[in-house]
Every structure is written in structure tokens, then in C-alpha cells.
Structure 1
Amino acid sequence: MNSNHTWPNAPEPLWKVENSLEAHPPLREDMSTDVVIVGGGITGITAGYLLANEGKKVIIIESDRLLNGTTGHTSAKITAQHDLIYDEFLNHFGQEKAKLYYEANNDALQFIKQTVDTLSISCSYSEEDAYLYASTEEYARKLSNEMRAYQKLGIQGEFMNSIPIDVSVKAAISMKNQGQFDPIAYLAPLIQNFKEKGGQVFEQTVAIDVEKGSNPVIITKTGAKITCETIIASTHFPFYDGNALYFSRMYAERSYVLAAKTKKAYPGGMYLSAENPKRSLRSHTLGGEKLVLFGGESHKTGQGHRMSDHYQALKFFGEETFGLTEVLYRWSAQDLFTLDKLPYIGPVTKSEPNILIATGFHKWGMTNGTAAALLFRDYILEKTNPYLDLFTPSRFYADPSIKTFLVQNADVAGQFVKGKLSFPTKQVSDLNIDEAAVVRVNGKKAGAYKDKHGKLHVVDTTCTHLHCEVAWNDDDRTWDCPCHGSRFNIDGQVVEGPAEKPLIDLTGELE
């Protein structure tokens, strides 16, 4: 990064620094239960909490640590204002479905607020107005259309020509009484309550497959199995997709956050730019001092500039708007988008009603993830849920799904060809400490990284999912696939799907 600025050493979300969670053991033996939840983020933990309180026997398994994925890396806005979405939904799906989407997310917001009150959770929850602003005439017109959509759908909002922060705007719309919080501080008491009700948690437990049937069985990497009545896969990218080819129906984006002390006082509220590059703002009080969270810089996974450039752009925006005195934390997150921007929540396929998935929250996981947990509770208890058909993963809307499918898969094809035609320009011997590059090892294209101790880690750069070429992420120190968003650590182990197998380790071939 900019040599004039000292950045926090490693990317680490402030939520994880502020909170410590109890560790849980890995699964070591076969078990049986009512419900197995795979994935320990906001969806899995909330669903576990809800179902355990309904008397269900529930086991949560997590491949890493609880809340170490997207939920732990969120900017943690709790809002139904999901960028420019309602005008688009009105045009594509009609008024009934657009209104249902708003209501599902508003219900989730109210549930979080009530849960904070009921359990007396200290999680820095505050009620804030959410603002979407436009800096160009083109996007001011889009905001006018969005405001008309609000009015048609009965959403309380206000159209305005200025906002309380120092950004030049042509127009803005607000959505009143939204929220923000510390997500880990919120979810920690839900985990505790879940365990007090008999729920069990196993970490460092990787689910690799499902044996289908009326009592499906989760198979884990170590061979231990869990037999149950219902499986909930809330693993960001579904670890099991029932041959429904979800990788071709979603795409992954990365985005970035800085948490900083500022010279100017923050006026309250949560803000998001309508234009690209995205700029997101909110505040958080840490140790009695108010920090500002500057977010944005979205790009498809594996296709951005150097990660440091994205942080630098956010730092520049922070300097312009509030004046930065110190950047305390920085981190990035990965989010999945469906073809039509509606999440997939429900049975993985029509023929497997007892295997449920929740994915594709398109950066709005605090409300969409909570809505998914509420839907799963109703589904498992055989209660009516008004949002079941809206979110069903087996849906297909020709517009916009076909267009988005063609665009995304043309991009995948382009990235595939680009990767295959690229030629390594560095030798392993050229690498400095903490540097990576694509090199050639015994005629094969390889990714080499020299760690801080001078040890080399060399992997085949061909993604094990559909054979695209991975790219180096210089901030998280991962190899990221530009085609479908799979990510691998320096030794090739899978960090994020859809890839299931590690990259081939070529370190031994250097000897």
C-alpha cells in the first residue's frame, strides 16, 4: 500500500477483535438428530436458536470457526434498503413479489430488534435512517424511479436533494428506522441460548456429501456421519447442490471495509452510493470513540486490481469526506449474487424437500439471512410462511435470468481463455519474502508464494472446480478463481466453494 501510511498488519474485522467466542470440538463420532445445520453464520445460528427453542434436537457443524465467514466480515447494516432494487423487482416480478421481498426483510429487521430487547443483548444496536444517494443526473433519475416504487409498495421513505455528509449529491432517498449492530456480539448470546436448549456445535468439521433419503445423512471429511430428518445448508456457497448447478446460477463479488478514526464528527445514519464504485458508510463506537466504516470497491472475485489498491481508494474517499486520523481495521468479504438478485432459500431441488439451502444474499445477509432462518423454522414445523414461493431455489424467471446467465457465463468463458493464454514472467528464485507470482515448474503453470519465514508454497494454478486459472489475492493471501469464486489458501486447501478439492501441491517438484 501507500508507503506513507501504516496499515493494520493483517485484514481483521473489528467485530472479531472486539469479541471472543468459545471454541467447540470437531465431530469425532457418528450421531443422529432432528436437524443438522451446516454453516455457522447468521442464518445457521439464528435457525438453530429458533428450532432449539421449538424443542427440536439440532446440531450445527462448521468447517472453520463459528462466525469466521461472511457474517464475521459484514459491515452489519440491518436494512431493507438494498440499493436500487424495488423498481427493478416491480418491473421483473410484479408488485406482489416486490412487496413480499420488502416485507420479508422488514420482518427480519423487526425480529433482530425484538431479539436484542428480549435477550437484553449488548451489541451496539442503534436505530438509523438508511440513505441511498446519487451524484449524477443519470442516477438521480433512477432514484426518482426507486422512490415511485417505494410509494407503490407502501415503503416509508423520503426523497431529498442533500444528505448530512460532505458528498456532492443530485438526489437521495431515505428509508426510516433501519438498524446497525455488532453482529458477533448479537449472535454470541443466541449461540449460548441454543446450547442451553440442548443444541450442539462442532467446529473444524467439513461436510463433504449427503446420502439422500427420508433420513438423510451428512458425511464429513473425517468419515463421521450425522443422520437426521432435515439438513439446512447455510454455507454461503451450497456444499451440496443436488446437481442443480448452482455455480452457473450465481456469481461471487468481493468488497472491502476500513474502520477509521476521523477528524470530522459523524452525523449518524447509514449511507450507500447508487453509482459505482460503491461507497458505503456507517459508524460504530469502540471504547467510547466513534469510528467510521468506509466500505465498497466491489468487484468479481479474482478479477480486481491488487487488493491494496481497493483499500487505498477507500482511504482516499475517507480523507475527502471526513478526514482520517488513523485506520484501525481493514477487511474484505465475499458475497454471492443470484441471476435475478432474489436469494435462494428453500429445498435444494423439488425432489429433495428435506435438504434446504440459503444462499445468494447479494451483500444484504443480516436481513436476508435472518429471513431465511425464520422461513426454515416455519418450513420444518410445517407452518405457513408467506415467502416460501418467492425465494424457492427451483424458480426461474426468464427476465432477467436468461440475460444475466448469458452475461455471467460469457464472462466465465472470457476469464477461462484469458487465464490459459497468460504466460508466467517470473521465476521462483525472483520471489521476495511475502510475495507470490505465477511461475512455471517442470513445464506446468504454478502459483508460488514465499512466506514470511522464507518457505515456499507452490500449487497448480488450475482451479479444481472447472479448470479456470486462479489469481493471487495479495491481501488475504489466497488464490482466487475468477470464474466461480472458489478460493484456496497458500497450500491449496479450499477456503471457499464451489470447488471441493484442493489445488495440487507442487512444492515437492522444486526439489
Structure 2
Amino acid sequence: MTQLPGTYESYWMETGTGPEHPALADGLEVDVAVVGAGVAGICTAWELVRAGRRVALLEADRVAAGVTGYTTAKLSAQHGLLYAQLRKSFGVEGARQYARSQQEAVEYVDRVAAELGINCELERLPAYTYVESADAVDQLRAEADAAREAGLAASFVSETGLPYPVAGAVRVDHQAQFHPRKYLLALVADLVGRGGVVHERTRVVSLDEGEPCRLTTEGGVEIVARDVVVATHYPVFDRALLFSRLEPHRELVVAAVLPTDHDPQGMYLTQEQNTRSVRTAPYGEGERLLIVTGEKFKPGVGDVSQRHERLAAWTMERFPDARITHRWAAQDNTTTDKVPFVGAFHPGSEHVYVATGFGGWGMSNGAMSGRLISALITGGKVPWASLYDPRRLHAREAPSLLKAQGSVLKHFVGDRLRTSHADSVEEIKPGTGALVRIEGRRCAVYRDESGAAHAVSARCTHLGCLVHFNDAERAWECPCHGSRFAIDGSVLQGPAVRPLEPRPRPQTD
């Protein structure tokens, strides 16, 4: 494995710092409890505090430090080749509602940043979806027509600011990009200033949907609230069965310093070459930070280091004057019909709401979700509420749903047919991990650089799929629903809320 240059850390995390908030130690009673302090949870909590509600924002780790801290941070209504598909699945009006809700979110963030005086490096730029293959140009022309019909400032173009030729692109004007943590941490500060409370290191593990609702943390502390918002990226409660309609995926990111005069001056995306996304951000005098995202894969697939090497090689080939400084990875979920789930948690839910399935477009969808859920709780009306309603069911998503569940079944059953992923602990190279059967039980074993072995249960605590090792991030990942665990078994990312069970440390020769 090649040692890639740069720091393995998100640039947003490194450059966007904020104060710590205390863990919840005693019981709490509020109007609304928001579980999850990513972009959707923060925006929702902030909207509700402004509406006069008593709000508690609860986060298992640190505020805006999960998926939101590792985003590409495009704030755009152009979501790849989506509008032709939306027009086919939801009709012309459905596509228009989607476009309007997303574009309004872009304008709203711009307006809020100005009103609160937030210096979040927000820049208004065009967004492009492009192809290099001439065979895909007709599809791009159809997408440009659909996006324009939906109300976006869309056009088909053959020239871009990229330093390499393209066969064509859909250009959408009036989009934006920003520093997500600087924006969201400012919202949190304003939320606290308005009387809201924020508790970090407070993992919620159970929900009782009574009147009022009752939440319980892993430490046994109870939160009582009239309304609850589940904004944990992947819902940590399974009662809505949304896990059967969500597909997790990860993407890798490389960031590199680029001379300002080489800035492509736009946000770019292609689905070719297993996805390539390009944008820049302010960096230093005479420099920009080039941010390249791609190599989409399902959690637990493996060979992540090789994928990062491919992305870095592509970056240096296309931008030879760039100098890699950072690299990281991001994760998101896509719904089976490509439209997020934002609204009532399930058909019988009266006081519990959810926001999930942003499909890699969390910035605009997070802002949109905050406004939509706040309106649902306070009695407001939003014209696109039914479009995003999680309770929707239609035949159009059946093929995608069956495909997603087929993939889950493949891992749930197929992984168990393998005797192990390594025959013995000694086979595992230092600095790597594998599944090994020890005393009749499958264990997830990691050998540190000194050769010492560390073992935990191989069964994900969500629904029991077997975890796989991510060699680049040194984490255990569930290929079924995307839960992620540290080497010691602690939860890094849900839907799991309980750690992998520890196993006796195996002896090595």
C-alpha cells in the first residue's frame, strides 16, 4: 500500500473549531428533543428555538463532527442527473417542488449567514454535471431540459472551467459552496443564546412514543419531550423499517492546495469513473484548496486504501500543480426512490419526525429539513411536505427496494457461509484486521503495529450482519446498513447504538 501524502483528517474539522457542550447528566423536560447534531438536526433545532419552543439538541459525539464534518459542502439544487428521473417518477410538478425546495434552501442559507454575520466562506458559483464520453451527451441534454422545466437556471454547455475537455455539461447558475462547520457552529451559538440547550457525548438508545415522548440515554438519563426529531443520519430506531428503504454508501475525499489562477471556478460532478466531484475553497494568499471526491462504495467492501490511491492519482493527473494536504471519507444514505425522507417517522407517528436519505446532498437537504420539520411541529404549511413524506409508498421504488434488500441478504447469509476471512490470527498483518473463528465464534480481530491482537464480536449490534475491516480508516463496518465501529468496538456511526461485544484477547505466536 502506497503511503499517501497529507493528513488523514477533514479540512472542515481542522479549521472549524467550537466550544464543547456538557454531556447530559440529569433528566430533562423540553418541548422538542432533537437527536443528532449534524446539519439537519442543528438547522431543525435552530428553527424551533426561533419559533419559541424549548429545545434540547442531543449528540452522541461532538456537534457537526459526524457526517456533516466530512462533507464536500456543496450547497446546490443540482444533484447530478436527477431531474429527468424525478419527472418520470413524480411528474413535472414533483420535480418542480423538489427544485424549488432545494433552491430555496440555498438562498435561505445565504440569507441567514448574512443576517447573523457568519463568516463561513460562502461563495455563489455555478454547478456543473459533466461527461467526458460523447455517448452520454444526449442524456445530459435531456437532464438540462428537465432541470430547466423544474425551474432551475439550467442550460447545456460544452465549455467549462476544468483544465481538461468535456463532451458536455449541465450548468445550473446561482448555486453556492461554504465552510459547513463555521456556518453550523454559528447556528449552535445563536441557538444557545436564544435559550436552547446542547448536550454532546449523549447517546440516545431508546424511544417511547407516548404522550409525552420519553428518550433514554446509554447512561440511563431520561428526556421527556412533546415532540422528537430523529436526525441521526441513519435512523437509530428501526420501528419505521426505513432501513429497508435506505442504501448506505461511502465516498473518499482528497484535498490539495492549488494556485488561484488554476481555480476551475465552479462546482463539478461526473458519474463517470465511479464518480468525481471537484470544487475549491478559500485557502491562503494566492492559493485555493482543491477538493476532489469520488470512488463511491458500500461500507465494508474493503480495498479502501487502493481506492484512495486511485483518487489521489486522478487528482494529480488532472491537476498536476496541486499539492495534497488532506484526505478523508464521507458517508450518506440514498432512498430507494432518490427523494429524502423528511416528516412523520411512520404511519402511526404523531409526535416523532425523521430526516434522512439525503443521497450525498446533505447541505441543501439539511437546511430544507430544518424548515420543513419546524413547520410540521409548529403548524405551518409547506407545499412540498407530501413529496418528502417518509410514509409514501409507490410501485416505482420496488425495483430499487428489492435490489437493496438483495444486497443485504447477500451479506447477511453469504458472509456466514465463509468459514472465516482469515484462518488464524497469525495470518493477519500488523496494522490490519480480519474475521477469524476463535473457539467456535466469529471474532473481528485487529492486530496493532506491535503485533498484539484485539478482538471484538463480528456481529453488528444493529441487526446482526458480520462486519468487515476498512483498511484505510482502521474501522469495522457493517455492509448491510452502514454502522461503523472503532477497533475497540465502540460505535462510530449508526444505526447501531451499542458497541461490538469484547472478546478475550487472542494469543499470537
TM range, smaller chain: over 0.9
Match of 1:258 in 2: 254
Name the counterpart of 1:434.
Answer: 431
Which residue does 1:416 correspond to in 2? 412
Equivalent AA in structure 1 for residue 245 of structure 2: R
Offset at 1:426? 4.6
Structure-2 separation of matches of 1:464 and 1:352? 25
Question: Unmatched 5+ residue regions in structure 2?
Answer: none
2:382 corresponding residue in structure 1: 385
Q: Give, in whole Å, the separation in 2 of the partners of 1:299 and 1:276.
A: 12
Aligned to 2:5: 6
Task: Please tell me the residue identity of whatever aligns with 2:190.
Answer: N
Specify the SS of the correspondent of 2:254.
strand
3-state SS, counterpart of residue 146 of structure 1: helix
Q: Which range moves more in the overlay, 487-496 or 101-110?
A: 487-496
Structure 1 letter corresponding to 2:211: S
SS at match of 1:405: helix
Is residue 241 of structure 2 the alignment partner of residue 245 of structure 1? Answer: yes
State the 1:418 CA deviation: 3.2
Q: Secondary structure at the match of 1:476?
A: coil
Counterpart for residue 466 of structure 1: 463
CA distance in 2, matches of 1:408, 1:75: 25
Matched letter for residue 169 of structure 1 = V
In the alignment, structure 1 residue 282 sits paired with structure 2 residue 279: yes
* 1:299 and 2:297 matched: yes
Q: 2:179 aligns with which of 179, 182, 185?
A: 182
Q: CA deviation at 1:46?
A: 1.3
Distance in 1, Cα, partners of 2:69 & 2:321: 24
Query: 401, 404, 413: which one pairs with 2:400?
Result: 404
Query: Which amino acid in the other structure matches residue 288 of structure 2?
Result: K
Instruction: Report the 3-state secondary structure (helix = DSSP H, G, I; strand = E; otherwise coil) of the residue aligned with 1:48.
Output: helix
Q: Which amino acid aligns with 1:409?
A: Q
Contact 1:139/1:274 (8 A) holds in 2: no
How far residue 444 of structure 1 moved from its aligned partner, in angstroms, is 2.2
Pairs within 5 Å for 1:60-459: 60-241=57-238, 243-262=239-258, 265-288=262-285, 289-303=287-301, 305-399=302-396, 401-422=397-418, 423-452=420-449, 454-459=451-456
| Per-residue deviation, 1:332 | 0.4
Which digits, 9 at most, give the CA deviation of each residue in 1:296-326, with x for residues without a partner?
11111112x4211121111111112111542
Q: Distance in 2 between matches of 1:59 and 1:173?
A: 42
Counterpart amino acid of 1:376? I
Cα 1:50/1:426, change in 2 over 3 Å: same
**SS of corresponding position for 2:489:** coil
CA distance in 1, matches of 2:55, 2:148: 42
Backbone CA RMSD of aligned residues = 1.7
CA distance in 2, matches of 1:49, 1:359: 18
Q: Which runs of 5+ in 1 are unaligned?
A: none
1:297–1:407 Cα change, 3 Å? same
The normalised TM-score by structure 1 is 0.95
Q: 1:453 to 1:204 in 2, by over 3 A?
A: farther
Choose 447-456 or 283-292, whichever is displaced more.
447-456
How far apart are residue 344 of structure 1 and its match? 0.5
- Distance (whole Å) between structure 1 residues aligned to residue 416 and residue 21 of structure 2: 42
One-letter identity of the residue aligned with 1:100: Q
**Could you tell me how far 1:270 is from its partner in structure 2?**
0.5
8 Å contact from structure 2 (residues 453, 507) kept in 1: no
SS of the residue 1:154 aligns to? coil
8 Å contact kept, 1:344–1:393: yes
- Code of the residue aligned with 1:322 in structure 2: it is F
Partners in 2 of 1:510 and 1:116 — Cα distance?
56
Amino acid at match of 1:236: H
Q: Tell whether the 8 Å contact from 2:59 to 2:201 is kept in structure 1 after alignment.
A: yes
Counterpart of 1:127 in 2: which secondary structure? strand
Cα distance in 2 between the residues matched to 1:191 and 1:501: 27
Q: State the match for 1:51 in structure 2.
A: 48
Aligned residues: 505
Once the two structures are superposed, residues 318-366 of structure 1 have per-residue CA deviations (whole angstroms, 9 ceiling, x without a partner) of: 1121115421111101101111011000110122121000000000000
Residues 426 and 437, structure 1, Cα contact 8 Å, conserved in 2: no
Change (3 A) 1:309 1:508: closer
Matches of 2:360 and 2:404, distance apart in 1: 18
Q: Secondary structure at the match of 1:464?
A: coil
Q: Does structure 1 conserve the Cα–Cα contact (< 8 Å) formed by 2:148 and 2:155?
A: no
Q: Give yes or no for contact 2:77–2:175 (8 Å, CA) kept in 1.
A: yes
The 1-side partners of 2:124 and 2:409 are apart by 44
CA distance in 1, matches of 2:23, 2:107: 34
SS of 1:229 mapped into structure 2: strand
Alignment check: 8 A CA contact 1:43 1:373 kept:
yes
Deviations 1:255-291 (A, max 9, x none): 0111102367113100001324100000012233311
- TM (norm. structure 2) is 0.95
Once residues 421 and 383 of structure 2 are traced to their aligned partners in structure 1, the CA distance between those partners, rounded to angstroms, is 54
C-alpha deviation, 1:484, in angstroms: 1.6
Aligned residue type for 1:497: G
* Post-superposition offset of 1:83: 0.4
Contact 2:5–2:325 under 8 Å retained in 1? no
Instruction: Give the superposition deviation at 1:509.
Output: 5.8
SS of the residue corresponding to residue 21 of structure 1 reads coil
What CA distance in whole angstroms lies between the structure 1 residues aligned with 2:322 and 2:126? 26
The CA distance in 1 between the partners of 2:333 and 2:44, in whole Å, is 20
Q: Report the more deviating stretch, 164-173 or 496-505.
A: 496-505
Paired residues of 1:261 and 1:290 also in contact (CA < 8 A): yes
Partners of 2:19 and 2:148 in 1: CA distance:
46
In 1, the alpha carbon distance for the partners of 2:131 and 2:368 equals 29
Contact 1:211–1:218, Cα closer than 8 Å, also in 2: yes
**CA distance in structure 2 between the aligned counterparts of 1:437 and 1:154, rounded to whole angstroms:** 50
Aligned partners of 1:250, 1:434: CA distance in 2, in Å?
A: 32
